[in-house]
């Protein structure tokens, strides 16, 4: 089977017209979903830790619901329901952005919550002893330390997020995998296209994993 591969297909000049657009979208979606997920996830984590039932219960329900549903199903829901709710289409790419932020926020929320809870209680009490409010305590004492501790886990979740961007094919968004699929169909070499896509995903995630390991070692040195 390997002997039948067309090695001339593995040419950037040949693939670039099909792949570059999807590659940019996959990277952009990963960055936007990571930033949006961390912001929304931090809000959810603070709501769950607030001790106020009116905030704690809905945030916990949201997180548990999102973490219990496959991402591809959530993608389909948002793609079909949002246009129905607002009365106009928003496009596959925008549906993917909204879905990924909403979905990843649930996972980032649990990371943030665990990071906050890892900070010794004595530091929390020290902040209150200085007359700080809950918000000031979180902003000045707890969150800076928690985010530093959580950075390797954030990056690991981002790698998973990048891998999951390939699922946007389900709603027709043009991501990196879709670019390779299109190249394979147009050039008549689908096996080579999927093989090259797998190799690229592997090396990109491997490189990012090494970055995570370096950051983790750096964080340990700081401690």
User: Per-residue pLDDT averaged across 6-23, rounded?
Assistant: 76
For residue 216, being part of any structural domain is answered with no
Q: What is the pTM of this model?
A: 0.86
Of the pLDDT bands very low, low, confident and very high (cuts 50, 70, 90), residue 7 is low
Q: Is 87's pLDDT higher than 90?
A: no
For residue 80, being part of any structural domain is answered with yes
pLDDT of residue 1: 45
How many domains does the structure of the chain reveal? 1
Secondary structure letter of residue 11 according to DSSP: -
Q: Is 218's pLDDT higher than 80?
A: no
CA–CA dist 124, 146 (Å, integer): 12
Q: Is 161's pLDDT higher than 80?
A: yes
In 3-state terms, what secondary structure has residue 107? helix
For residue 144, being part of any structural domain is answered with yes
Q: Is 34's pLDDT higher than 80?
A: yes
For residue 52, being part of any structural domain is answered with yes
For residue 141, being part of any structural domain is answered with yes
CA–CA dist 97, 74 (Å, integer): 12
CATH number reported for the structural domain that contains residue 92 in this entry: 1.10.3720.10
Q: Which domain holds residue 53?
A: 16-177
pLDDT of residue 39: 94
Of the pLDDT bands very low, low, confident and very high (cuts 50, 70, 90), residue 2 is very low
CA–CA dist 15, 211 (Å, integer): 28
CA–CA dist 117, 86 (Å, integer): 39
CA–CA dist 18, 29 (Å, integer): 18
For residue 221, being part of any structural domain is answered with no
């Amino acid at each position: 089977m390997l002997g039948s591969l067309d090695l001339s297909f593995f040419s950037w000049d040949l693939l670039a017209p099909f792949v570059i657009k999807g590659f940019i979208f996959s990277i952009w979606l990963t960055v936007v979903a990571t930033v949006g997920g961390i912001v929304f996830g931090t809000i959810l984590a603070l709501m769950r830790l607030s001790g106020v039932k009116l905030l704690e219960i809905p945030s916990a329900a949201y997180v548990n619901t999102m973490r219990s549903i496959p991402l591809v199903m959530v993608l389909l829901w948002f793609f079909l329901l949002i246009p129905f709710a607002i009365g106009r289409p928003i496009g596959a790419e925008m549906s993917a952005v909204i879905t990924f932020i909403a979905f990843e926020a649930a996972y980032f929320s649990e990371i943030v919550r665990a990071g906050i809870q890892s900070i010794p209680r004595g530091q929390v009490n020290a902040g209150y002893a200085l007359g700080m409010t809950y918000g000031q305590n979180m902003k000045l004492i707890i969150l800076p330390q928690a985010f530093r501790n959580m950075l390797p886990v954030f990056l690991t979740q981002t790698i998973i997020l990048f891998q999951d961007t390939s699922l946007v094919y389900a709603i027709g968004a043009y991501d990196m995998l879709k670019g390779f699929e299109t190249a394979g169909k147009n050039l008549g070499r689908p096996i080579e296209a999927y093989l090259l896509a797998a190799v690229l995903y592997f090396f990109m995630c491997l490189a990012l994993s090494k970055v995570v390991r370096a950051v983790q070692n750096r964080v340990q040195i700081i401690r």
